[in-house]
């Protein structure tokens, strides 16, 4: 049981997919304009991660080596389509604001990366917790980045004004600001890592 | 065949909404491979080729398969399958025709399948050029042209970035910023500069 | 005998100048434009400039201390960045704006690359486009010249972009700076005096400014008017940040190509981009963006215009 917990927690800090493994950056930056978007995307991605990790680890012995990547992709794409359709049905506003980045979860390096690196080599229980941990780590990273961006870029978080009279710094709502935030955050975490070493 | 439309697509796709610096598609490969010019160029040409071809193929799939049979919800799955198959085909062809080129590409070729830019452009074309389930006039040409322009924008960003990062090898960058963090900061400044083209009107 | 043979790469600077001397001379050459700015826009211009300079110097100092490196603030480069940034701002901006801009210029535009001599982009311009993207309202509110009560007015280029007819502006007005605009960009006369100092002393070469201005002029002549070959090129040369940019920012030693051929390419590129943005883009002025984009291309330009090392093929 302890091992399983470890699989879960490693995805949050030690092997955080965004800040340590630098995977799945495309949607991270695009979606982190607002915390609401971040949470939505995080949940969707975690769902896909969980589903695909589970299924892939279940069938890992039956997939021929040569065509394993296309097989993983089909499995992942199925879960993404499910997520897409659910989102369109139950929260169309979120679907509209996430735009093309929902179908793009299919090519999110995190999902395919974990399938290739973990789920096809480990048993179902461990893969489940690994997927869960990665998903949660990803969501937390998204929330951190989007909190910074939303606060600086519009003075609000989740639509609530935090400081009155704060002049929003519009650049943080733009792609340039996103790249800047993640660059500085990565540098900051590197600094922490070095200090700890 | 509207010249203004094409010019607008060109300026948008290459500069204002640059696929990497503005839409963040292909960012993984961008950060990882833009360290040196040769691999950057190799990756860019391969990506450009795949984007253009898959833009064309996915257009056909959507127009003549998914739309008429009301299967548009299968868009994601079918597109990614098309792309994966196509990349596999390209790999096999290159391996047969020119083993040297195949070796030169190395791992980059299979990586293109998961390059967000390829699937992203395919989906973007549909969103932009199909309105209410019908295709806009000339949408095939717009789609392919957009594919070309996105490829150009990708190449431009890669080349600029690789030139800059090669030069930075000789500078003493603060340790915690080396490699990835600085690459993002440079991309941020590039993105700001490209904003100069926003609001383009011919 | 052997000691007479010096082997090194180009460019070969054989003057007994130090970096400090060059930098402080540039500062001096910017003073005429600064004085003009204060005369035209009032003491606000002075405060903005001073605040920007102090913020830039302090930021550089902090970085120097944290990195435990030699303190380089006395070499004048931070001062130049502060001044140039201020010169790119309207005089009416709230004083925290140039502070944030200066900190950003030095921190992100210069220090993250490793400090002096290693920046890819012109630091002042990095700060300026950051400010422009962050607080567009403040960055585009210009006060009327000689009217110290801060009545707003638009710059000539902005009026042109909106398609309105320009009244009451003669070329002479443009040359002397009697119109709305950024602190250091309006008075062409003052800028040219400063540029002359730098050219005479040989601290900048004519290649970039000449090609930059010339290319912009030709392009706006051909495409800038209602019909082909009817553009008002003199207006374009005298308006906006072109003169300031061409002589003082596009000539940044570090961020521009090393060879003469490379510099010509750089100048032409800047000119083209500036003209294209001015004519068809959404912004009325394109100088900052043009220079930054060419800065980005400089590593490439250098690569393909490198002089052959004597003795190799």
Q: What is the pLDDT of residues C136-146, one digit of tens each?
A: 888 888 877 77
Identify the CA nearest to B76 among candidates B66, B85, B68, B86.
B66
Q: What is the mean pLDDT of residues C34-40?
A: 88
**Taking CB atoms and an 8 Å limit, are C133 and A180 in contact across chains?**
no
Cβ neighbours around C221 below 10 Å, total: 18
DSSP string covering B138-184:
THHHHHHHHHHHHHHHHHHHHHHHHHHHHHHTTS---GGGTTHHHHH
**Widest Cα–Cα separation across chain B:** 60
The answer to whether position B115 is within a domain reads yes
Q: Find all residues with CB under 8 Å of B103, minimum gap 6, and list them.
A: none
Contact list in B for residue C299 (CB cut-off 8 A) is: 163-164, 166-167
Shortest alpha-carbon distance between residue A179 and chain C (Å): 13
- pLDDT value at B152 more than 90: yes
**Which domain does B41 fall in, by range?**
35-163
Distance, first Cα to last Cα, chain B: 15
pLDDT value of residue C13: 54
With a pLDDT cut of 90, the percent of chain C lying above it is 28
Q: How far apart are CA C138 and CA C162, in angstroms?
A: 19
Under the banding of pLDDT at 50, 70 and 90, the label for residue C1 is very low
Q: In the numeric block, which tokens belong to residue C80? A: 């130049």
If you measure CA to CA, which chain A residue comes closest to B174?
A187
The neighbours of chain A, by the rule of 3 or more Cβ pairs under 8 Å, are B, C
**Taking CB atoms and an 8 Å limit, are C292 and B192 in contact across chains?**
yes
Q: Find all residues with CB under 8 Å of C193, minimum gap 6, and list them.
A: C29, C32
Q: How far apart are CA C280 and CA C278, in angstroms?
A: 6
Q: How far apart are CA A187 and CA A169, in angstroms?
A: 21
Q: Is A185 helix (H, G, I), strand (E, B) or coil?
A: helix
**Taking CB atoms and an 8 Å limit, are C134 and A170 in contact across chains?**
yes
Q: Are strands B134-135 and C142-143 parallel, antiparallel or unpaired?
A: unpaired
Length of chain A: 197
Q: Find all residues with CB under 8 Å of B67, minimum gap 6, and list them.
A: B130, B133
pLDDT value of residue C167: 65
**Taking CB atoms and an 8 Å limit, are B176 and A107 in contact across chains?**
no
User: Using one digit for the tens of pLDDT, what is the confidence trace for C70-92?
Assistant: 666 666 888 999 999 999 998 88
- Cross-chain CB nearest to A183 (options B80, B116, B181): B181
Q: Does the CB of A147 have a partner CB in chain C at under 8 Å?
A: no
H or E, element range at A161: strand A160-161
H or E, element range at B134: strand B134-135
| CA gyration radius, chain A | 18
Q: What is the mean pLDDT of residues C257-280?
A: 90
- pLDDT value at A192 more than 90: no
The residue assigned the tokens 């009817």 is: C230
Handedness of CA C25, C102, C152, C233 (dihedral sign): positive
The answer to whether position B56 is within a domain reads yes
Q: How far apart are CA C86 and CA C40, in angstroms?
A: 15
**Which domain does A111 fall in, by range?**
2-196
The least confident of B109-113, B157-161, C10-14, C301-305 is: C10-14
Q: How far apart are CA B131 and CA B145, in angstroms?
A: 18
Contact list in A for residue B177 (CB cut-off 8 A) is: 183, 187, 190
Q: Does the CB of A77 have a partner CB in chain C at under 8 Å?
A: no
**Taking CB atoms and an 8 Å limit, are A169 and C108 in contact across chains?**
no
Do C97 and C131 form a contact (C-beta atoms < 8 A)?
Answer: yes
Under the banding of pLDDT at 50, 70 and 90, the label for residue B114 is confident
**Taking CB atoms and an 8 Å limit, are C113 and B190 in contact across chains?**
no
Question: How many domains, in total, are found in chain B?
Answer: 1
Shortest alpha-carbon distance between residue B173 and chain C (Å): 4
Q: How far apart are CA B41 and CA A13, in angstroms?
A: 35
Q: What is the mean pLDDT of residues B71-89?
A: 85
The answer to whether position B106 is within a domain reads yes
User: Using one digit for the tens of pLDDT, what is the confidence trace for C194-244?
Assistant: 999 988 888 888 889 999 999 999 998 888 777 788 778 888 888 888 999
If you measure CA to CA, which chain A residue comes closest to B21?
A175
Question: How many domains, in total, are found in chain A?
Answer: 1
Q: Find all residues with CB under 8 Å of B21, minimum gap 6, and list them.
A: A175, A176, A179, B157, B187, B190, B191, B194
- pLDDT value at C166 more than 80: no
The answer to whether position B26 is within a domain reads no
Under the banding of pLDDT at 50, 70 and 90, the label for residue B155 is very high
The answer to whether position B154 is within a domain reads yes
Do C104 and C54 form a contact (C-beta atoms < 8 A)?
Answer: no
Pick the CATH number of C19-304 from 1.10.1740, 1.10.3430, 1.10.10, 3.90.550: 1.10.3430
**Taking CB atoms and an 8 Å limit, are A179 and B114 in contact across chains?**
no
Higher local confidence (pLDDT), C223 or C69: C223
Query: Exposure pattern of B51-85 as b/e (b: 16+ CB <10 Å)?
Result: bbbbbbbbbebbbeebbeeeeeebbbbbbbbbbbe
- pLDDT value at B1 more than 80: no
Q: How far apart are CA C27 and CA C30, in angstroms?
A: 5
Contact list in A for residue C108 (CB cut-off 8 A) is: 180
Do C250 and C270 form a contact (C-beta atoms < 8 A)?
Answer: yes
User: Using one digit for the tens of pLDDT, what is the confidence trace for C90-106?
Assistant: 888 888 999 999 999 99
**Taking CB atoms and an 8 Å limit, are B181 and A186 in contact across chains?**
yes
Report chain B's mean pLDDT, rounded to a whole number.
Answer: 84
Contact list in A for residue B195 (CB cut-off 8 A) is: 174, 176
With a pLDDT cut of 70, the percent of chain A lying above it is 96
User: Using one digit for the tens of pLDDT, what is the confidence trace for B123-146?
Assistant: 888 888 887 777 777 788 888 999
Q: Does the CB of A167 have a partner CB in chain C at under 8 Å?
A: yes
Interface of C with B (CB under 8 A): 67, 108-109, 111-115, 118, 120-121, 126, 129-130, 133, 273, 277, 280-283, 286, 288-290, 292-293, 296-300, 302-303
If you measure CA to CA, which chain B residue comes closest to C117?
B171
Q: Find all residues with CB under 8 Å of C248, minimum gap 6, and list them.
A: C26, C29, C30, C84, C191, C194, C195
User: Using one digit for the tens of pLDDT, what is the confidence trace for A79-138?
Assistant: 999 998 998 898 888 888 888 888 888 888 888 888 777 777 777 788 888 888 888 889
């Amino acid at each position: 049981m302890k091992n399983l917990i470890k699989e879960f927690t490693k995805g949050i800090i030690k092997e955080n997919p965004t800040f340590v493994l630098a995977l799945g950056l495309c949607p991270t930056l695009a979606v982190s304009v607002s915390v609401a978007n971040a949470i939505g995307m995080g949940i969707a991605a975690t769902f896909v991660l969980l589903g695909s990790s589970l299924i892939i680890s279940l069938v890992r012995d039956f997939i021929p080596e040569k065509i394993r990547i296309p097989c993983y992709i089909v499995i992942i794409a199925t879960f993404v389509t499910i997520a897409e359709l659910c989102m369109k049905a139950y929260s169309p506003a979120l679907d509209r604001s996430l735009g093309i980045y929902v179908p793009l979860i299919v090519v999110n390096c995190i999902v395919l990366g974990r399938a290739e690196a973990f789920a096809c080599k480990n048993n179902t229980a461990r893969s489940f917790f690994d997927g869960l941990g990665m998903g949660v780590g990803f969501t937390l990273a998204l929330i951190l980045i989007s909190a910074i961006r939303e606060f600086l870029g519009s003075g609000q978080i989740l639509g609530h004004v935090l400081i009155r009279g704060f002049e929003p710094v519009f650049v943080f709502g733009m792609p340039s600001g996103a790249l800047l935030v993640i660059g500085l955050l990565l540098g900051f975490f590197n600094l922490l890592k070095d200090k700890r070493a | 065949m509207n010249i203004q439309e094409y010019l607008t697509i060109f300026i948008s796709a290459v500069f204002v909404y640059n696929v990497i610096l503005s839409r963040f598609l292909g960012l993984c490969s961008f950060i990882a491979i833009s360290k040196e010019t040769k691999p950057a160029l190799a990756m860019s040409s391969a990506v450009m080729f795949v984007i253009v071809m898959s833009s064309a193929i996915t257009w056909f799939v959507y127009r003549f398969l998914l739309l008429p049979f009301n299967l548009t919800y299968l868009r994601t799955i079918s597109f990614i399958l098309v792309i994966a198959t196509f990349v596999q085909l390209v790999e096999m062809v290159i391996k047969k025709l020119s083993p040297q080129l195949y070796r030169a590409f190395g791992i980059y070729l299979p990586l293109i399948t998961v390059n967000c830019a390829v699937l992203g452009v395919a989906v973007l074309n549909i969103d932009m050029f199909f309105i209410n389930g019908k295709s806009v006039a000339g949408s095939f040409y717009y789609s392919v042209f957009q594919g070309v322009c996105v490829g150009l924008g990708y190449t431009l960003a890669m080349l600029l970035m690789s030139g800059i990062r090669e030069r930075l090898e000789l500078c003493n960058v603060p340790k915690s910023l080396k490699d990835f963090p600085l690459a993002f900061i440079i991309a941020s400044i590039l993105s700001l500069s490209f904003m100069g083209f926003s609001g383009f009107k011919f | 005998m052997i000691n007479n043979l010096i082997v090194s790469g180009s460019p070969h600077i054989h003057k007994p100048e130090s970096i400090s001397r060059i930098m402080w001379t540039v500062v001096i050459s910017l003073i005429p434009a600064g004085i003009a700015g204060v005369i035209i826009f009032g003491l606000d211009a002075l405060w903005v400039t001073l605040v920007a300079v102090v913020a830039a110097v302090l930021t550089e100092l902090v970085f120097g201390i944290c990195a435990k490196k030699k303190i380089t603030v006395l070499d004048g480069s931070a001062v130049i960045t502060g001044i140039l940034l201020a010169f790119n701002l309207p005089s009416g901006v709230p004083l925290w704006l140039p502070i944030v801009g200066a900190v950003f210029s030095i921190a992100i535009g210069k220090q993250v690359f490793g400090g002096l001599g290693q920046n890819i982009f012109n630091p002042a311009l990095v700060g300026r486009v950051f400010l422009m993207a962050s607080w567009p309202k403040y960055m585009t509110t210009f006060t009327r010249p000689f009217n110290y009560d801060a009545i707003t007015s638009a710059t000539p280029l902005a009026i042109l972009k909106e398609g309105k007819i320009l009244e009451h502006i003669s070329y002479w007005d443009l040359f002397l700076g009697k119109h709305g605009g950024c602190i250091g960009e309006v008075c062409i006369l003052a800028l040219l005096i400063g540029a002359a100092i730098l050219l005479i002393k040989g601290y900048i070469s004519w290649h970039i400014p000449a090609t930059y201005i010339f290319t912009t002029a030709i392009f706006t002549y051909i495409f800038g008017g209602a019909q082909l070959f009817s553009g008002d090129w003199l207006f374009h040369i005298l308006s906006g940040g072109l003169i300031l940019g061409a002589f003082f920012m596009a000539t940044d030693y570090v961020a521009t190509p090393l060879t003469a051929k490379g510099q010509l390419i750089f100048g032409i590129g800047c000119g083209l981009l500036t003209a294209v943005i001015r004519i068809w883009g959404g912004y009325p002025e394109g100088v900052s963006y043009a220079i930054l984009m060419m800065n980005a291309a400089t590593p490439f330009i250098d690569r393909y215009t490198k002089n052959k090392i004597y003795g190799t093929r």
